[in-house]
Amino acid sequence: MTPVVGIAVRNPFADRRYLEEGKILAVIDTGYEGFLLI
């Protein structure tokens, strides 16, 4: 099972949220260097 995290991308200056509908899932790899894939 791959761990995923739901995230929201926000622009506080424009008071916007991306995606306005739906969700974005980020895959987290805890390997040697680690990375975040969106």
Q: Are 10 and 28 in contact (CB under 8 A)?
A: no
- Residue 13 pLDDT: 92
Report pLDDT for 30: 67
pLDDT of residue 12: 86
Give the pLDDT confidence score for residue 1 in this predicted structure.
67
Asked whether the whole model's pTM tops 0.85, one would answer no
21 phi and psi angles, rounded to 5 deg: -125, 150
Angle at 6 between CA 28 and CA 3, to 5 degrees: 35
Determine the residue type at 28: I
Ranges of each domain in the chain: 4-37
pLDDT truncated to tens, each residue of the chain (38 aa)?
677 788 888 888 988 887 777 778 887 766 666 565 55
